[in-house]
Amino acid sequence: MKVYNSIEAFKTNHKTAVTIGTFDGVHIGHKVVINQLKNAAKKINGESVILTFFPHPRMVLYPDDNELRLLNTIDERFLLLEKAGIDHLIIHPFSKEFSRLSSTEFVRDILVNQLNVSTLVIGYDHHFGRNREGSFEHLQELSPLYGFHVEEISAQEIQQVNISSTKIRYSLLNGEIHAANQFLSYNYFIKGTVVKGEKIGRTIGFPTANIKIDEWYKLIPTKGVYAVKIKINETIFIGMLNIGSRPTLKENSNETIEVNIFNFDEEIYNKKIEIEFYERIRDEQKFENISELKKQLEIDKQQVIQIFN
């Protein structure tokens, strides 16, 4: 897969099948779109092109709204789309100026003149251009004028999958890891850097690695204790992860992410680490004392071992 950091950087003499979207999560709903795109490219003996945007349009159009969290960083999105077998990925910088293009300008100047579109694959409810004025019906009017074909992904196809990035975000923020993973068709994951903590865990036999997430906009699942797999230098370990404020030890107004890696005793400060979520095993709790906390951690550990066995 070839990657371009702007629409202007893309050049081709081949016919293209194009689709457009943010593709946050690259979930099973997106894969319906991607499969149809690849089939459309084969029909025209051309190449498949995904046009996506970064930052997310909502971050640009509503800069005061800091609530949006994404399922993927832009690097993660790139890796997931590469696995999907796309020929070309264009990650175009989204701006207010870009958002002001009319739907006709978008079709003529971007899709036709720049991307050489022969087939456009688009969802039945997709809108584009200034004030979302462009629609499937509008594309049907423009397609004979500019010499391309429009393939609609029907409401029935979309509803059969019935997945959206919003639904997955909701599942993760409610601790419904199984549902989120099923919707994604892979295990939700986060990446970050191991930073120094207060080293309290090691005093009770449960040393933890504190994780600083690479990108502020990456969605973190709700507070609680999770069964996870950890990738360090391409080696996979199992462990348990806590997201929260550590109320038993020293309540922290800032949310922390700490993972206890089983059968592991190496120095990994400043190293990159990847964590896959498998199951949420309980809420974060405040215990009467350290002894009660330690008892619960022993129970948690056995439960995690059972999950992976």
Q: Do residue 133 and residue 220 come from a single domain?
A: no
**Lowest pLDDT segment from 137-146, 161-170, 274-283:** 161-170
Per the domain annotation, does 172 fall within a domain?
A: no
Provide the residue range defining the domain that includes 45.
2-162
DSSP 112: I
79-96 per-position pLDDT tens digit: 999 999 999 999 999 999
Per the domain annotation, does 197 fall within a domain?
A: yes
pLDDT of 200 over the 80 cut: no
Starting at the earlier edge strand, list the strands of the sheet with 47-54: 2-4, 88-93, 47-54, 16-20, 117-123, 149-153
Counted domains in the chain: 2
Q: Do residue 144 and residue 19 come from a single domain?
A: yes
Q: Do residue 251 and residue 131 come from a single domain?
A: no
Distance CA 38, CA 47 (A): 8
Q: Do residue 154 and residue 263 come from a single domain?
A: no
Distance CA 276, CA 191 (A): 9
Residue pair 303/202 in contact (Cβ under 8 Å)? The answer is: no
Per the domain annotation, does 84 fall within a domain?
A: yes
Q: Do residue 109 and residue 199 come from a single domain?
A: no
Q: Do residue 265 and residue 143 come from a single domain?
A: no
Q: Do residue 197 and residue 136 come from a single domain?
A: no
Mean pLDDT over all residues of the chain?
91
Per the domain annotation, does 143 fall within a domain?
A: yes
Q: Do residue 138 and residue 232 come from a single domain?
A: no
Across 160-234, the runs of DSSP E, i.e. the strands, are 189-195, 209-213, 224-232
**Per-residue model confidence (pLDDT) at position 247:** 64
Q: Do residue 157 and residue 192 come from a single domain?
A: no
Q: Do residue 98 and residue 213 come from a single domain?
A: no
With tokens 């025209």, the residue in question is 44
Distance CA 288, CA 209 (A): 24
Percentage helix, strand, coil for the chain under 3-state DSSP, each rounded to 5: 35, 30, 35
Residue 47: which CATH number? 3.40.50.620
pLDDT of 53 over the 90 cut: yes
**Per-residue model confidence (pLDDT) at position 251:** 56
Q: Do residue 101 and residue 210 come from a single domain?
A: no
222-276 per-position pLDDT tens digit: 999 999 999 999 999 999 999 998 766 665 567 899 999 999 988 899 999 999 9
Residue pair 132/167 in contact (Cβ under 8 Å)? The answer is: no
Per the domain annotation, does 93 fall within a domain?
A: yes
Distance CA 232, CA 272 (A): 7
Q: What is this structure's pTM?
A: 0.91
Residue pair 234/184 in contact (Cβ under 8 Å)? The answer is: no
Three-state secondary-structure class, residue 94: coil
Per the domain annotation, does 255 fall within a domain?
A: yes
Please tell me which residue, 67 or 132, carries the higher pLDDT value: 67
Sign of the torsion angle spanned by Cα atoms 221, 222, 228, 233: positive
Residue 289: which CATH number? 2.40.30.30
What are the residues whose beta carbons fall under 8 Å from the beta carbon of 40, sequence distance 6 or more? 17, 48, 119, 121, 151
Q: Do residue 217 and residue 152 come from a single domain?
A: no
With tokens 């893309």, the residue in question is 10
